[in-house]
Amino acid sequence: MRLTNIKLWDGVSEALSEFHSIEIKDGKITSIGNEEKFDASSQASSSQDMAGLYVIPGLIDAHVHMCLDPEAKDPLAHVKVGREKQLDLMAKRAVKMLDAGITTARDLGGGKWEELNLRNKINAGELSGVRLLCSGQPVTSVKGHCHFWGGEAANLEEAAKVIERQISRGVDLIKIMATGGNITPGSKPIDAQFDSETMAAMVKIAHEHKLLVAAHCHGTAGIKNASFAGVNTIEHCSWVGSDGWGKNLNEEVLSEIVGKGIWISPTINSGWRKFMGSQSFETLIQGNYQKMRKAGVKLIASTDAGIPNVRHEDLPKALPIFAHFAELSPVEVLRTATSDCAEALGLGRQRGRLSPGYDADLVCYENNPLQDLSALENPIAVMAKGKWHRLV
């Protein structure tokens, strides 16, 4: 299949490229170039005139929870939903994500590995939907953040068992709750849940199994433990300490994060719109991102979709808000949701770019998202692994 007459952003470059044709075969991009470069003997079985649409790589959300219902008032409601019903709800969420232009997402926690089941069905082509990487049950402390998912560990020995259990289920990565969180009664975001030795030992086990590690971190103490342990992504990174939310950014920890090349996944979703214009909070958060970016941190886009009021298809709406708080240009924030995100997730050679050899995951828009990010809210068509999901 050949797509012609497109304006292409490859996921990396500063600007739209001069190339305006993509050739796709067996789910992969085989070549990219100017139309005249494709000769008549080309193998492309069909050619589609895309009428000048803007085409970018499929979006990637680094932090979602397929099992959570964002409309539920009780964040634990999903635990009581029957298996059949739950799988149906999750499959519908996966389709909505694809509708929104999200072609890959990383699921960072569920209790019953149902999201792995969904992942497998989508990968096998039995269901249409966003392609998933899944962590299964996050490792947490006794009665710690999201303990209801079954990953409680009182010590390293138990933590190792939790990790082994996830591996036996076929997870793509390991998630560790390095601090408490908001949705678990009795758990405090400021508190570290594991000491630095235990964190380091857990990360070592995961890495020995060639699995990356994502660490949930609100408090600075937990961010420190996670970064010294060498996790791969720090989720939230809220810098919570004795001075309050966002007020304890630590320069030593920051330089450890930068030195180790750890990615920060801030989970700034569209709900953060309500903080825009609230001067003290906005200034605080923007100040933190200025410090982090000056130090050289690498950022990826994430929403924590599934938590109350954050829908699974939130990412296109979230990116302008993320850009506002982190003071990123449109192209910078788009990289955090394409090429950079793919790299952070260990998919840097397969996804997140429009380039020969990469998966043919792409989204088409009428307006130029590099000029105005609001264009992302209206995708015209989405292709996942070379198959059109939606073509108006």
**Backbone phi and psi for residue 206, each to the nearest 5 degrees, phi listed first:** -60, -45
Query: Which pair of tokens denotes residue 113?
Result: 């590995």
- The angle at the Cα of 16, spanning 12 to 19, to the nearest 5 degrees, equals 100
Q: Are 48 and 3 in contact (CB under 8 A)?
A: yes
Give, as ranges, the residues between 218 and 247 that touch Zn ion (CB under 5 A). none
Q: Which residue is nearest to Zn ion (CB)?
A: 304
What is the rounded distance in angstroms from the CA atom of residue 97 to the CA atom of residue 316? 10
The residue (of 304 and 359) whose beta carbon lies closer to Zn ion is 304
User: Residue 61 interacts with Zn ion (CB under 5 A)?
Assistant: no
What is the rounded distance in angstroms from the CA atom of residue 213 to the CA atom of residue 131? 19
What is the rounded distance in angstroms from the CA atom of residue 249 to the CA atom of residue 71? 33
Q: Which stretch binds Zn ion (CB under 5 A): 203-211, 280-288, 296-304, 339-347?
A: 296-304
Query: What minimum distance in Å lies between the beta carbon of 119 and Zn ion?
Result: 17
Question: What is the identity of the amino acid at 67?
Answer: C
Query: What minimum distance in Å lies between the beta carbon of 304 and Zn ion?
Result: 4
What SS3 state is found at 28? strand
Q: Which stretch binds Zn ion (CB under 5 A): 113-121, 192-200, 257-265, 303-311?
A: 303-311
What is the rounded distance in angstroms from the CA atom of residue 227 to the CA atom of residue 260? 8
Looking at the DSSP bridge assignments, the partners of residue 381 are: 364, 391
The residue (of 177 and 203) whose beta carbon lies closer to Zn ion is 177
First to last CA, the chain: 18
Q: Which stretch binds Zn ion (CB under 5 A): 19-27, 52-60, 304-312, 381-389?
A: 304-312
Contacts of residue 41, defined as CB under 8 A and 6 or more positions apart, other chains included, come to none
Binding residues for Zn ion, rule CB under 5 A, total: 1
What is the rounded distance in angstroms from the CA atom of residue 371 to the CA atom of residue 380? 17
Residue of 256, 304, 314, 359 interacting with Zn ion (CB under 5 A):
304
The residue (of 307 and 376) whose beta carbon lies closer to Zn ion is 307
Query: What minimum distance in Å lies between the beta carbon of 247 and Zn ion?
Result: 22
Contacts of residue 43, defined as CB under 8 A and 6 or more positions apart, other chains included, come to 23, 25
Query: What minimum distance in Å lies between the beta carbon of 244 and Zn ion?
Result: 22
Q: Which stretch binds Zn ion (CB under 5 A): 68-76, 93-101, 168-176, 301-309?
A: 301-309
| H or E element in which residue 119 lies | helix 114-123
What is the rounded distance in angstroms from the CA atom of residue 362 to the CA atom of residue 57? 4
The residue (of 304 and 314) whose beta carbon lies closer to Zn ion is 304
Pairing of strands 2-8, 21-25: antiparallel
The residue (of 304 and 361) whose beta carbon lies closer to Zn ion is 304
Query: What minimum distance in Å lies between the beta carbon of 263 and Zn ion?
Result: 15
Q: Which stretch binds Zn ion (CB under 5 A): 39-47, 111-119, 158-166, 299-307?
A: 299-307
Query: What minimum distance in Å lies between the beta carbon of 236 and Zn ion?
Result: 8
Query: What minimum distance in Å lies between the beta carbon of 216 and Zn ion?
Result: 6
The residue (of 175 and 389) whose beta carbon lies closer to Zn ion is 175
Query: What minimum distance in Å lies between the beta carbon of 235 and Zn ion?
Result: 6
- Interaction site with Zn ion (CB under 5 A): 304
